[in-house]
């Protein structure tokens, strides 16, 4: 590498980690706005800490020494995948960014965001089966086909993988254990079953990877096996944390119908089947005002 190339390369390595700080800055600005707007209600410090911690995990994953290691070693790639796609998303989602945004927006914009959350596209993507396929099924497509080799052959493909890991991980965490309302979220028992399928899928894929069966990963066997071990043990721990987050939200309600939204959902303006169409939107507008 020439001296002229060294500086751009250093910037290219450091930039993704710096970009990962921006969501934390935006979140903190929204928190300040909400607390000033409604001092009595404020905003949960625990949720703020969770979101900032998630951004910190992203910075760790996308900065040296892990980022350079991931570019030339499959074990580094898998460590990045775990941090970006399995550890950061639950922390980000538990920060309830959608609820925070709804509380910070003016009434008209809050209603538009609520309408977007009810759109057929969002309902389709947030369906539990769709979330499972995007999160776990896409890994089989990545590692069992030439797709992984094609992605890492170009820098843009490498970063597209990060975007996919983060987006699909956040989607799955939101559907399974997110405090923000989701239009197609089933009950807690069904979500535990969904998480069980994800755990089984990761376990099977990591075992295939370790044994060298049905995979297409252009890396030495020692690296592939090391990556498989990281996926097996690190993935299990991440999914256990997600299960704990899900169980912690299980609050059986005896005196309220399942179709009635809780206080957070009412503030967000989301309505459930069986609820009048006008109540949710009006609630969002009143709160946002």
Parse the chain into domains and list their residue ranges: 10-249
Judge contact between 99 and 268, C-beta under 8 A: yes
User: How much is the pLDDT for 181?
Assistant: 84
Looking at the chain, the number of H-run helices and the number of E-run strands are 18, 0
**C-alpha angle 134-92-126 in degrees, rounded to nearest 5:** 35
User: How much is the pLDDT for 146?
Assistant: 95
User: How much is the pLDDT for 7?
Assistant: 42
Distance CA 272, CA 280 (A): 9
User: How much is the pLDDT for 288?
Assistant: 40
User: How much is the pLDDT for 15?
Assistant: 77
User: How much is the pLDDT for 142?
Assistant: 96
Distance CA 269, CA 282 (A): 7
Judge contact between 126 and 171, C-beta under 8 A: yes
Phi, psi torsion values for 273, nearest 5 degrees? -55, 135
Which H, E and C letters describe 32-70, residue by residue?
HHHHHHCCCCCCCHHHHHHHHHHHHHHHHHHCCCHHHHH
- What does each C-alpha distance from 168 to 38, 124, 171, 196 come to in angstroms? 33, 14, 5, 17
Nearest alpha-carbon partner for 74 in 203, 225, 216: 225
User: How much is the pLDDT for 56?
Assistant: 96
The Cβ of residue 202 has, within 10 Å, a number of other Cβ atoms equal to: 21
Distance CA 11, CA 76 (A): 20
Q: Is the pTM of this model over 0.95?
A: no
Judge contact between 126 and 175, C-beta under 8 A: yes
User: How much is the pLDDT for 289?
Assistant: 37
DSSP per-residue letters across 54-122: HHHHHHHHHSTTHHHHHHH-HHHHHHHHHIIIIIHHHHHHTT-HHHHHHHHS-HHHHHHHHHHHTSHHH
For 110, half-sphere exposure in the C-beta direction (CA atoms, 13 angstrom radius) is: 26
Per residue in 218-242, is it b (16+ CB within 10 Å) or e — as a string?
ebeeebbbbbbebbbebbeebbebb
Reading phi first (left if > 0) and then psi (alpha if -120 to 50, else beta), residue 218 is in beta
User: How much is the pLDDT for 284?
Assistant: 44
Phi, psi torsion values for 280, nearest 5 degrees? -65, -50
- Residue 195: its H or E element: helix 188-211
The Cβ of residue 73 has, within 10 Å, a number of other Cβ atoms equal to: 17
Distance CA 178, CA 188 (A): 11
User: How much is the pLDDT for 13?
Assistant: 65
- Could you report the average pLDDT of every consecutive run of 10 residues in the chain (289 residues)? 44 74 96 91 94 96 90 95 97 96 94 92 92 94 95 88 96 94 86 94 96 95 97 94 85 51 49 41 40
């Amino acid at each position: 590498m020439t001296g002229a190339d060294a500086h751009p390369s250093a910037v290219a390595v450091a930039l993704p980690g710096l970009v990962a700080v921006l969501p934390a800055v935006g979140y903190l600005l929204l928190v300040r706005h909400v607390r000033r707007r409604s001092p009595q209600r404020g905003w949960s410090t625990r949720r703020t800490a969770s979101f900032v911690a998630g951004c910190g995990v992203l910075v760790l994953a996308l900065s040296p020494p892990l980022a350079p290691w991931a570019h030339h070693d499959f074990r580094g790639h898998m460590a990045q995948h775990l941090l970006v796609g399995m550890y950061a998303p639950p922390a980000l989602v538990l920060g309830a960014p959608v609820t925070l945004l709804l509380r910070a927006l003016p009434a008209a914009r809050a209603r538009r965001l609520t309408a977007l959350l009810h759109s057929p596209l969002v309902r389709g993507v947030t369906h539990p089966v769709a979330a499972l396929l995007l999160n776990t099924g896409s890994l089989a497509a990545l590692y069992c086909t030439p797709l992984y080799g094609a992605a890492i052959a170009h820098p843009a493909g490498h970063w597209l993988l990060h975007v996919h890991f983060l987006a699909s991980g956040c989607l799955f965490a939101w559907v399974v254990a997110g405090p923000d309302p989701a239009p197609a979220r089933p009950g807690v028992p069904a979500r535990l079953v969904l998480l069980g399928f994800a755990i089984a899928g990761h376990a099977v894929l990591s075992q295939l990877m370790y044994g060298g069966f049905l995979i297409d990963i252009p890396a030495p066997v020692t690296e592939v096996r090391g990556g498989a071990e990281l996926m097996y043990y690190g993935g299990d721990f991440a999914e256990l944390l997600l299960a704990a987050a899900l169980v912690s939200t299980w609050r059986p309600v005896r005196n309220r119908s399942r179709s009635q939204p809780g206080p957070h959902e009412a503030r967000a303006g989301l309505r459930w089947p069986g609820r009048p169409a006008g109540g949710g939107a009006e609630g969002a507008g009143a709160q946002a005002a």
